[in-house]
Amino acid sequence: MPRRKTLDEQHADLAFPAHGLDVSTGFWRQPRGTCADALNVRLFEPGTDRGRGGSRPGLSRYLDARVNGANPVQELSAFVGVGYSDPGAGVQTNSSGRVVNLVAVSAGQVFVTSPGATSWTAAVNGTGAATPLAATGVVRSAANGGKLYFADGTNYRYYDPATNRVENWTASQGSLPIHGANTPRLVCTWRGRTVLSGITTDPHNWFMSKVSDPRDWLYFPTDPSPAQAVSGNNSPLGLIGDVVTALIPYSDDVLVVGGDHTVYQFSGDPMAGGQISLVSDITGMAWGSPWCKGPDGTLYFFSNRTGVYRIRPGQLPERISQPVDNLLAEVDTGLNTIRMFWSERYQGMHVFVTATAGAADEPARHFFWEERTGAWWPDRLGHADFDPLCGCVFDGNEASDRVTLIGSWDGYVRAVDPDAATDDGRKFTSSVTIGPLLTANLDDLLLKHVQGVLGADSGAVDYEVYVGATPEQALASEPVISGTWSYTAANGGRNLTSRVRRSGHAVYVKLTSTNRWTLEAIRVAVAGKGSVRRRGW
């Protein structure tokens, strides 16, 4: 029998999957520009922001000192004020007199630092208690009127940066919300009011202080005014028709309230003709602070059903996590603390999912979403102790102080650092599986050779080539060839061509590395095998 003729050789580029991970479709129908497997990678290079693909930014310690020994960090808050000396022992210069501090809670105690400082300064405990706040669990805070007010479910405290003291938060009029021994666990500032909710034995209620006075909780003053304190059980607006799970001060006119399976919206002040409206009676929010806001005003949140949604006032929630929904579905929203932070530098959002009760044996799976491409990228940090219970977007004066910070289980505060090739000295594994490479007519093909081109100063990358009769079989198979690509001054990142000469229906190339690396191109030479697999009708 005469040998079947191989069609002419063609050269092609296997591009880095710009649109991220997508595990929602069949293996044959992998959406263009996506991949079937990825970990700790990004399209946009951390240092230069070039869209060529490579490993994610690492983590570095914001300070080389723990907040409070090996105790986990329970809360982080960026606090900005004027008119007082920096309590954080740093050196700040700003013509406006702006003082920027980072306030942390660890083992129930409050600490402060600032740009340029090398250590944490303990706040003076003026409460009379052994520790001002709950020594375990997540603490939340909100600034109002130059002070930082805390919610931990048990205590009422505030921090005054002008005196560097933690004081008892008491009511000058009326009474602070309490039900039995339970106090609120959710807090935010909206329209100058300190808003509280999340009392375990009064879960549908909400409470708002007097405007610009977090100590005034008098609901029935002698002289009523639109600025007075108000609560759900003392207002014509009534209680939220669901368990309150999140408070989101969207704008001066809109407060979004997450429920267990609902989303509500306050429009206008409750004491000045405001209304509460139901936005969704299907999609709710996970507990705590599972949200962030983008620069264009879009609100993003992690839902009770584990999807990630975006919403703007007057619109219904829109799901954006379809490509990775089956991975998000594995998240236990009862056992994990979920925090989301918008990164202006990387133009996207971090979604951190951390076990609330203690550091896990293995690092948790987190996610990053790139707004520019809609790409989802799974991440795992270098150690389970690095997983964050809290964090914030710090806004110092210098570029190095405008970073996303996370408070970790081991007591350190770390920054997402574009210059860090490791997670605080620990190497992490990054990988991406590029493909499948298929012919236009779904015929078999012959992969003749492959060549990798890395970016300047890229670390070495291990590669593996998979070939199979179907895309699913190719992914599950053993590699037909493997090796290492590297950058040297001599090769300029363009590695030698590797001979493959394996035929199949689908081809993948997997890249894996523990180094900081960037990819310029993967060149392959293929030849069609003809219509040996097609069947006519």
What is the C-alpha separation between 329 and 353, in angstroms, rounded?
Answer: 12
pLDDT in tens, 515-524: 999 999 999 9
Q: What is the mean pLDDT of residues 74-99?
A: 82
Query: Is residue 363 pLDDT above 90, yes or no?
Result: yes
The pLDDT score that the predictor gives to residue 168 is 98
The pLDDT score that the predictor gives to residue 175 is 97
Quote the Cα angle for 218-223-225, to 5°.
75
Q: What is the mean pLDDT of residues 124-141?
A: 97
Quote the Cα angle for 245-248-253, to 5°.
135
Query: Is residue 476 pLDDT above 60, yes or no?
Result: yes
Q: pLDDT-derived band of residue 13, with 50, 70 and 90 as boundaries?
A: confident
The pLDDT score that the predictor gives to residue 89 is 75
Q: pLDDT-derived band of residue 351, with 50, 70 and 90 as boundaries?
A: very high
229, 210 Cβ separation under 8 angstroms: yes
What is the C-alpha separation between 438 and 358, in angstroms, rounded?
Answer: 46
Query: Is residue 211 pLDDT above 60, yes or no?
Result: yes
The amino acid at 471: P
The pLDDT score that the predictor gives to residue 2 is 47
E strand or H helix that includes residue 473: helix 471-476
CATH topology of domain 9-40+429-528: Jelly Rolls (2.60.120)
pLDDT in tens, 410-454: 999 999 999 999 999 999 999 999 999 876 666 788 899 999 999
The pLDDT score that the predictor gives to residue 12 is 81
* Domain regions of the chain by residue span: 9-40+429-528, 288-426
- How many CA atoms within 13 Å lie on the side-chain side of 101? 32
Query: Is residue 162 pLDDT above 80, yes or no?
Result: yes
18, 373 Cβ separation under 8 angstroms: yes
342, 293 Cβ separation under 8 angstroms: yes
Cα end-to-end distance, the chain, whole Å: 26
Q: What is the mean pLDDT of residues 453-470?
A: 95
240, 204 Cβ separation under 8 angstroms: yes
The pLDDT score that the predictor gives to residue 313 is 82
Q: What is the mean pLDDT of residues 373-383?
A: 97
Q: pLDDT-derived band of residue 232, with 50, 70 and 90 as boundaries?
A: very high
pLDDT in tens, 178-210: 999 999 999 999 999 999 999 999 999 999 999
The pLDDT score that the predictor gives to residue 5 is 47
Is residue 20 helix, strand or coil? strand
The pLDDT score that the predictor gives to residue 536 is 42
Supply the DSSP symbol for 401.
Answer: G
Tokens 């009760």 belong to residue? 357
Query: Is residue 534 pLDDT above 60, yes or no?
Result: no
pLDDT in tens, 397-419: 666 667 999 999 999 999 999 99
| Phi, psi of 401, deg, nearest 5 | -100, 0
Supply the DSSP symbol for 65.
Answer: S
Tokens found for residue 527: 């030849």
- If phi > 0 it is left, if psi is from -120 to 50 it is alpha, else beta; for residue 21 that is beta
Tokens found for residue 13: 């580029």
**Average model confidence (pLDDT) for the chain?**
93
